[in-house]
Every structure is written in structure tokens, then in C-alpha cells.
A and B are shown apart, each in its own frame.
Chain A
Amino acid sequence: MRRSQEGLLVPATRRGLLIGSTKLAAGGALAFAVAGGPAARGLRSARAQDPVSSFTDDLDVFNYALTLEHLENAFYRDGLAEFDEAAFEDGGFDAQVREYFELIGQHEQDHVDAITAAIEDAGGTPVEEQTYDFGYEDVEGFVGVAQALETTGTQAYTGAAPFISDPNLLTAALTIHGVEARHAAYLNVVTGVDVPFPEALEPGLSRDEVLAIAGPFIVA
């Protein structure tokens, strides 16, 4: 028990201002860890997976987010060009599902545009869209990949957001994070692979974990 609790200690402090409060922070994490139930499990695994920031700065976090948003945006754009209303119907999905997929695709495009603009404003160089292969062969496969992408996207933001230093950028990331979580819950309903909200606390994924999941989709 003691060892796993010590594993929760996170040396990084936000804004570099709060050296004296590191202990408080760790205490907070401990309380969550011992609070019991799914909450405790969620926190412990998340902290254990990402004990220190794997990002050099906020621009690094935002380009990481942009990498994922490009992937999602291309996924919906190209997939919806391939599968029309009839294809969704043939796959057993009602017309509303395709409409909501269009809306999700629009959100991802908006996220790409906003994050690109934010990176440029901050003097950085936004990463560009790459070439992807999502491996689906029919509309059911397409919907299944959507569910996996949104879940991963949500948990990528959950894992990365705490390491954003600038409060404006942090709030911006949070406003995207919530929307990805909404997509993920909806896609759980559509696919039926899981309940819409499987945990009391959303697990956070580390950068390495996310890239291991998303990497195989990127072919060039």
C-alpha cells in the first residue's frame, strides 16, 4: 500500500510557483486513492501511468492534441464521404446516427482549426495532417473505430491537461476535452460495446500509451 501511494507523488508543479504545496498535492491524491470504489482505482492507475510530464511545454501538449484532432478529423471526413445514408441504414444504423457523425466530424474540424490558430498565435509550428489507414471495411467497422478514437481522445486529454501551464490554454483544452467525452459516451451507446460512462473517474492515458494506440493508424 505504502509503495503504491508513494508512486502517486508527482514532482511537477504547475506554473513553478508552488514548491511548498507539492506535499498538499500528494496528500490530495492520497485521499482520492483511499476514498474507495472505482474512484480510487481510476486515480491510482492514472497517476501511476503518468507520474511526470512527458511534454516540454504547452506548445508540445497542443501539437500532441493537434496530432489526434487531425487524425479524427480525417477519419470522419473521409469515412462519411465513403458511407452515405443508405450505407448507414444497411449497417443497421438509423438516419440520426449519420447526422450525429456529421456533427462530430464538424467538431473535430473546429478543434483542428482552433488548436492550429492557438499554436500559431503562441509562435509555434502546428503539425500537419498525415496519411492514415483506419482499417475499416464497412460502416460497422467505421463506427467501431469511431468509438475507439473518441475514447482514446478523451483519455488523452484527461492525461495531458494537468500539464498545461497557461490557464487560458488549459481552459481551452478542457472545453475540447468535455466534447470528446460527449462523443465517446454517445458512441458507446451506438456501438453497445460498453455503458456510456464505464468509470466514476475517466482514466487518463500517457502520451506513450496514446501514441501506441493511434500510431498504427498513421501510415505516412
Chain B
Amino acid sequence: MADRPLHERFLETITEERQRLASRRGFLGGSAKVASGGALALAGAGLGLRAARAQDATPEAGAEFPDDIAILNYALTLEHLEFAFYRDGLEEFSADDFDEGVFDNLGLIRDHEGAHVDALTATITELGGTPVGEAGYDFGYEDAEGFLEVAAALENTGVRAYDGAGADIQSVDLLAVAGQIVAVEARHASYLNLLNGEVPFPESFEDPADSEEILEIAGPFIVSDTPAADEGAEEEATPDA
């Protein structure tokens, strides 16, 4: 139930862009579904990449995203979520709630996510697309410790999402930007794992995930189509029965 708004949003965006840019469709038939296959093949290093190509030949193979704008909006959906998480959480907590230096670094991460939101929004607009907006979220944490756990989950998920979608990006420029973002997400993930007492780099290879897997993880955090602040204002204006 909780993931419906996000899912609907994706479908809406994908439908719009498919109509607008139908002529570009079909270029990348056979290039999708490589994400997890590539990782698996590499994880068993000796196997090389042949197994990934074999998976590539499944009948359903086809680009997961109709075009780059759809991928950028997918990324933007996750960046909105991350930015709102840090923005709101850091207002709730203070430096005293964390070990020395942690609060400042969390502020830096927040600024990065904000920069990613701004950059993706501007790029989608520039390309003639409609950038998705911020939604309303509930991250379910109750204290600083819980906040750090959710932060690590979000950052590790972000890396998996970019790694899963990266190969579908058609433009060299946009792929370069995605690569610049994902490395920073991986840095965040490493640091947050460390704060949570987890290994900062648990595997030799990242584990790419497709959008369905990402939706399963991120969807439950999304509780409404609009930011919570807007809802709060409405609730205040409408007294409970």
C-alpha cells in the first residue's frame, strides 16, 4: 500500500516519456537485465562475464527504462527521499546526539543529496522532461541510533540503484554524471556502515538492483504524494474529529 504512490509516479513518468519519445525506443533491446547477472558473474571471479551475457539473452530482455529522462527521474525519486531524510532528521537531532564530528559529516551528506536533487531536476528540465517532486516520507526512526541505521540502508540502496540503472543510460554525459554521483553515494555508505559498526565495504563487488527491488526497499518509506510539511499544515487546519 505504502509503495503505490511511488509506483504510480514511475508509471506515469514512463508513460509520458514513452509517448513523447517513442521514436527513440527499441535502440537498446537486449541490453537490460544485465545488472545482477554482471555482479553474479564477477562475484565468482573465475567465471568472468560470460554468464552475464547468457542472462542477457532472456526473452524479456529489453531496456528497463524507456529513455534517459526516465532513469534521471528514477534517480531523482531516490535523491528526494535521501535529501528529505537528512534535512528533517538533522533538524530533529543535535551534535550532542552523535559522536564527535558525526553531525557535521551528516550535514555534508545532506548537502550532497541536495546538490544531487538540484542537478537532476535541472537536467531533466533542460532535457524537456518533467522532474518528479518530493513526496511525503516516514522513515520510522525514533532516536539518533535508529536514524543512522536508516541512513546506512538508504545509502547502500542508492548505490545498488545507480549500479543497476547505469548501463541503461544512453548519453555519455549523463552516464558520466551518474558515475560521479554513485561514487559519492558509495562513500556515504562506507562511512555510515562504519558508524553502525558494520564493515564499510562488505563485498568485493557492489550488488546492482533493478527498479523493482529498489521499490520494495524504498517504497515503504513513502507515505504520500506530497511533502509531509504540506500535510501537517492541512491537518492543523482540519481539527481531528
Contacts and interface: CB of A to CB of B under 8 A. Distances in A.
Counting chain A residues whose Cβ lies within 8 A of the other chain, the interface size class is 35 or more
A172 B49 contact: yes
Interface string A188-207: 01000001110111111000
Contact of A204 (B28, B31, B118, B179): B179
Interface residues of B, number: 77
Contact of B200 (A32, A180, A185): A185
Nearest to A22: B171
B187 A31 contact: no
B172 A14 contact: yes
Contacts of B164: 171
Interface stretch (B8-16, B38-46, B226-234): B38-46
Nearest to B27: A17
A181 B187 contact: yes
Contacts of B94: none
Contacts of A21: 24, 170-171
B38 A181 contact: no
- Among B123, B126, B186, B199, the most chain A Cβ lie within 10 Å of the Cβ of B186
Nearest to A121: B48
Nearest to A177: B183
Contact of B206 (A31, A155, A174, A184): A174
Interface of A: 8, 10, 12-15, 17-18, 21, 24-32, 34-40, 42-43, 46-47, 100, 103-104, 106-107, 110-111, 113-114, 117-118, 120-122, 154-155, 157-158, 161-163, 167-172, 174-186, 189, 195-197, 199-204
Closest 5 CB pairs of A and B: A31-B126, A117-B48, A25-B171, A202-B183, A182-B190
Given A34-B122, A35-B123, 5 more contacts: A35-B115, A167-B167, A168-B37, A170-B166, A202-B183
18 contacts: A10-B173, A36-B118, A37-B118, A43-B119, A46-B180, A100-B200, A110-B45, A117-B49, A168-B49, A169-B38, A171-B164, A174-B206, A175-B205, A176-B42, A179-B203, A185-B191, A195-B108, A204-B180
